[in-house]
Amino acid sequence: MDIAVTRHPLTVLLDRRHWTYETFLCKVAHRHRARGFGGLATRKEKVTRWIAGAAVPQVTAQLAMADVFGVPEREVYARGWAHWLLAASDDDRALWESPWTPAGSVTVLDMVGGPVDRRGFLIASTGTLAGLAAQWATAKPALAVRGGRRIGAEVVTQLDARLAALRLLDDEIGSAHVYEAATTEIRLIRSLLKQTSHSEQVGRRLYGAAAEACRLAGWCAYDNGNHADAERHFIAALRSAASAGDDTIGALTIAFWANLRYAGGDPRGALDLLDGALASRRISSPRVVALLDVRRARAYSLAGEPVQAYRAVESAFASYDKAAPAGQDLPALYWLNAGEVHQSAGSAALSLGEPRRALEHFEAALHGDDPYDTRQEARGAAIYLARRSEAHLALGDLDAAVEVAEQVVRLMGGVESARGTSALEDLRGGLLDHKEVPVVRNFLELTA
């Protein structure tokens, strides 16, 4: 898998150690000779090309680097370039190697209760995702805890109410501000897990609240463009869900994580996660199953597999038809209705090069019996409208494309979202090919 980079992991490691390119290459060349591989050129341009993605180091050079950073040789072969560099961080090793137990969940929660600066690269290699889903499925939940001040169910009820408020606040103002509040909730819940006594039931609810706080933080980090930070939170959420003994919360986490993976260019990794979630027979919410199927449809569409994508769309609608009313379902899925499923189905059709079919779904999303609520969340509505505009553009209807694009601009005002900004930039990029048309030129000038 290619890594979409704003800050390459090698850059991060060199910055942490305060090494120049020349210092680093001298160390690598020394280890290269010590391993019997012979001499190694030490021109700093070599590192520049590695970081830019213009070249990949030879395996012998990577093994020498692994020596320098203290990374086991097996990680180089297992993760590949440049993912294995992340194993140089003790933090990242703990994410993978902590046991799938309540104590292991608390260890990981200690690591994600605050922001990190790891923008741009995903920390999980594609091959590790199926294994993570399998570990989640077999983990043992928490038992009662004795020692410390005893707390009861009312404490967790208050935590759940705080998280519900944050979800709604994310809809209103976007992810940047809500992220900080979500990490504060993680730290609070972690301290309760470590310092209080509680019954088994209360303990599992605490881990469930931790899972939801981490999922929300992960979502906010992703929406704000910090993908590596998001993955760390999703891993913590999945571990906490396992300790809660709640496959439904775990499956919801996987649905959001899969979104990040296929949007980051890894639809196969997303499918590994989603297949692992759907293998569970303990998901209590048909709405969650519908969301997993919707994500599968998007992943298959981006992988260029129309048959599987449209089958997943059918499964999503079938699962949604079995769902209870939103007020009786998982609180975190208050936003998922038939209109949302149609929006995702339209997005899948657009990715598969079927703009007319996409527009049929987009139309059904807004005017069906259970319509998508464009007032509930401006960011999501803007992203779907951008895709609707792309579909009109693909069909050559420039007037309709610009009319919808103008709605996107109005909706995005005041809401911070890297995903929304990216959708608008992509839309403008598509319209640039038609900048000689007056209606398009006017729009481009107004949004420059």
Q: How does pLDDT run across 425-438, given as a tens digit for each residue? A: 888 888 888 989 99
* Contacts of 28-33 spanning 24+ positions with Cβ under 8 A: 28/61, 28/64, 28/65, 28/68, 29/64, 31/64, 31/65, 31/67, 31/68, 32/60, 32/61, 32/64
Q: What integer pLDDT is reported at residue 3 of this predicted model?
A: 34
| Residue corresponding to tokens 């998007």 | 298
CB distance 71 to 87 below 8 Å: yes
- Strand-pairing partners, residue 364, are none
Residue whose C-alpha is closest to residue 256's, from 270, 267, 245, 269: 270
Cβ burial 70-98 (10 Å sphere, 16+ → b, else e): ebeeebbeebebbbbbbbbbeebeebbeb
Q: What integer pLDDT is reported at residue 119 of this predicted model?
A: 42
Task: Give residue 100's identity as a one-letter amino acid code.
Answer: W
Residue whose C-alpha is closest to residue 317's, from 338, 343, 301: 338
Rounded distance between C-alpha atoms, residue 430 and residue 396, angstroms: 12
CB distance 334 to 328 below 8 Å: no
Model confidence pLDDT, tens digit, residues 294-331: 999 999 999 999 999 999 999 999 999 999 998 899 99
SS3 labels along 113-180:
CCCCCCCCCCCCCHHHHHHHHHHHHHCCCCCCECCCEECCHHHHHHHHHHHHHHHHHHHHHEHHHHHH
CB distance 228 to 260 below 8 Å: no
Q: What integer pLDDT is reported at residue 129 of this predicted model?
A: 79
Q: What integer pLDDT is reported at residue 125 of this predicted model?
A: 62
3-state secondary structure of 416: strand
Those residues of the chain that have pLDDT short of 70 are 1-7, 87, 89-94, 113-127, 413-417
3-state secondary structure of 233: helix
Q: Which two tokens stand for residue 9?
A: 């992991």
Q: Which two tokens stand for residue 97?
A: 């190697």
Q: What integer pLDDT is reported at residue 81 of this predicted model?
A: 86
3-state secondary structure of 434: helix
Instruction: State pTM to two decimals.
Output: 0.79
